[in-house]
Structure 1
Amino acid sequence: MTSVSSPLQRLADALRKDTVGGFLLISAAVLALVLANSPAAGAYNAVREFVIGPSAPLHLDLSIGTWAADGLLAVFFFIVGAELKQEFVHGELRNPRRAVLPIVAAIGGMVVPALLFVAFNLAHPDKIGGWGIPMATDIAFALAVLAIVGRGLPPALRTFLLTLAIVDDLGAITVIAVFYTDDLSFLYLIGAVVLLAVFGYLQQGRGLAGALDRSALPNWVVYVPLAVVIWAFMHESGVHATIAGVAMGMLMRSSTRDGEHESPLHHAEHMLRPWAMGLALPIFALFSAGVSFSGFGTMLTDTVSLGIIVGLILGKLIGILGSAWLTTKLTAAELNPSLAWSDITGMSLLAGIGFTVSLLISELAYPAGTVLEHAKGGVLLASFTASVLASGILLRRSAHYRKKGVPAETAGRE
């Protein structure tokens, strides 16, 4: 007998696939660009800037665009944190010699783009403040493109990108907090850290925390309100609130106990992934990707946009690929045997998709005006170019692996 909920189950199963989520994300981004550059731009911007939410006590009277970027995106970052936890405990990143490589690559991928931007703007002290713009990698868009063009590529490449992008995001958000934030609240930050410690303690299921697992009270009754408060405290602290999602994902227990069919991490990830891919990411893209094309005509004469474009495309390639290669030559770190350096080349270009965090830093670095529009235009053009260049390389690599008939998990280095 067919279950009444089977169509919903099939929809959820489809949304758990990276390719489906990737298509939805990119389609929403294209729609946002069309709306922002059409007669409907006024209505689109009005909806995006419409403020909802309570102002007290945590100043959550936010625009719809901010709710999408800080709120809904935290669900996706929870999934990312859970995946990384799984890799560090049970997967690829258990090996320190391999785990260190994407971490070092991420650092190189932040430093080199920033230096290139500074080099372009040394003669313009009023513009040099945008050095943090080309540092960021947009993990959501990068993973979406990889899912679409990367069929047949070794799974280790996605893990490499995931680790690199998380370290990159942590670095970019640290830069925002230190250099682009004037009102960092340590009291709320400490509160968020304390509640995260409580969250992690409850996940252990030992001692007093074990009472929650043994009680008849559904776990979500405790964890959902706790997660909301952690997110709100993190947001109020001035640190990008999506970090709360990553932290909670990393704190989930990934092992099973007596009577459990699956770990809490796997259960939460399985349940939340369709919502993240089918709702959170497309809405985030719809309200974050709407950049106006006005000013593109003069953009390429501005050292700000040129520094961003060169930083995100060439800087990411040199910084990530170069630092990873040097690390393998100078230390005991090693590249996963299933990956080739040409795979890392394509992935390095893919990391040049800056978008959301880059646009955020642009708004923090420059006041409204021509320079800000040129900075946003540079981010848009660089991200598009990086995705096209990366897709070209990764499609060829994917075809290479499929042609050789080598299983993705054992594809050898070429």
Structure 2
Amino acid sequence: MILHLLIASFFVLVGAEIRNELENKRELIAPLLAALGGMVFPALLFKLMQQESAAWGAVMPTDITLALAVIALLGKRIDPKLRLFVLALAVADDFLSLIAIGIFYSGKLNLATSASTIIAAGVGAILPKKDLVIKYLTPWSFYVVTPVVIITHFPTHFEFNGTVSSYLIARIIGKVVGIALVAWLLLKKEMIGIGLLCGMGMTVSIVIAEISTSGKELESIHSGIYLASIISGLLGYLWLRVKA
């Protein structure tokens, strides 16, 4: 129950961020298209390699807090506009992932999961004083929610099998190819670094994985989530550090 409430607070933040980004419709077009590319390519790659698996949705989301944490580590090396682009892309990514949950996984949703995702995001989108919601929930999400989710779902041992390798390929390569192809002309080589950062998916990916699968495959997907986040974050940091 406590974990569901923590995840709900994360999605309240996502909802507030979505509302905030929707107010700048012109500036949202490029990140939205990049997010679409960064979702479709990984999902197709995973489905091609794991045709029987229903967990393809877990490779799509980007973890906002993890991506921005890596950007923060780069400090002044990164153009502030690039940080805003990552934020807008990650928000669009999670927004589209929530739509995917509602469309493709609605038959598998239980009440607790629904409350932790779509309903909570809806609450965040309609709350007054969204700037205050974002101001206070962002550090809460970074210092409390994300660490708790990471610790709670951390694999007792890391699997490495066909499912894990498919997840890693879909996440790390699919995100880079999808985002870079769509937005290459906008920010050029920096988009490879952004694509790598967006390979980090945690909270939303875990939610989708637990909705879509179970048992041995779920353990493998959990391993893939953590390994992909570690590898993507490290490679994204190094790429942007060198290119900055």
Q: What TM-score, normalized by structure 1, do the two folds share?
A: 0.53
Q: Is the 8 A contact 2:35 2:92 kept in 1?
A: yes
Shift of the 362–75 alpha-carbon distance from structure 1 to 2, 3 Å rule, reads closer
Encode CA deviations 1:273-331: one digit per residue, 9 max, x unaligned: 553244343221132112333342xx222x22112111110000000001223xx5xxx
Instruction: Identify which of structures 1 and 2 has the higher relative contact order when contacts are C-alpha pairs closer than 8 Å and 6+ apart.
Output: 2
Q: Is the 8 A contact 1:130 1:365 kept in 2?
A: yes
Runs of 4+ in 1 over 3 A off after TM superposition: 85-88, 271-274
Q: Looking at CA atoms only, which structure, 1 or 2, has the larger radius of gyration?
A: 1
Task: Name 2:142's counterpart in structure 1.
Answer: 281
Distance 2:108 2:164 in 1: 28
Give the alignment of 1:5-404 within 5 angstroms: 63-70=1-8, 72-77=9-14, 80-81=17-18, 83-85=20-22, 87-88=24-25, 93=27, 99-122=28-51, 125=52, 128-182=53-107, 240-245=118-123, 247-248=125-126, 269=131, 271-290=132-151, 291-296=153-158, 299-301=159-161, 303-325=162-184, 328=185, 335=186, 340-367=187-214, 369-398=215-244
Specify the code of the residue in structure 1 equivalent to 2:17.
V
Secondary structure at the aligned position of 2:76 is classed as coil
Specify the code of the residue in structure 2 equivalent to 1:121.
Q
Shift of 1:371: 1.6
Q: Is the 8 A contact 2:16 2:125 kept in 1?
A: no
Shift of the 67–149 alpha-carbon distance from structure 1 to 2, 3 Å rule, reads same
Q: Is the 8 A contact 1:312 1:352 kept in 2?
A: yes
Shift of the 85–246 alpha-carbon distance from structure 1 to 2, 3 Å rule, reads farther
Distance 1:150 1:79 in 2: 25
Matched residues, percent identical? Answer: 29
Shift of 1:80: 2.2
Q: Is the 8 A contact 2:155 2:222 kept in 1?
A: no
Distance 1:394 1:373 in 2: 32
Shift of 1:241: 3.1
Distance 1:131 1:279 in 2: 29
Specify the code of the residue in structure 1 equivalent to 2:192.
T
Q: Is the 8 A contact 2:62 2:201 kept in 1?
A: yes
Q: What TM-score, normalized by structure 2, do the two folds share?
A: 0.87
Shift of the 145–247 alpha-carbon distance from structure 1 to 2, 3 Å rule, reads same
Encode CA deviations 1:327-365: one digit per residue, 9 max, x unaligned: x5xxxxxx2xxxx41221111110000111111111112
Specify the code of the residue in structure 1 equivalent to 2:160.
L
Shift of 1:68: 0.4
Specify the code of the residue in structure 1 equivalent to 2:55.
G
Distance 1:117 1:68 in 2: 29
Q: Is the 8 A contact 2:35 2:90 kept in 1?
A: yes
Q: Is the 8 A contact 1:137 1:165 kept in 2?
A: yes
Distance 1:84 1:312 in 2: 25
Q: Is the 8 A contact 1:77 1:245 kept in 2?
A: no
Shift of 1:101: 2.1
Count of residue pairs brought into register by the alignment: 242
Distance 1:74 1:180 in 2: 17
Structure 2 residue runs of 5 or longer lacking an equivalent are none
Structure 1 residue runs of 5 or longer lacking an equivalent are 1-62, 94-98, 186-231, 253-264, 329-334, 399-414
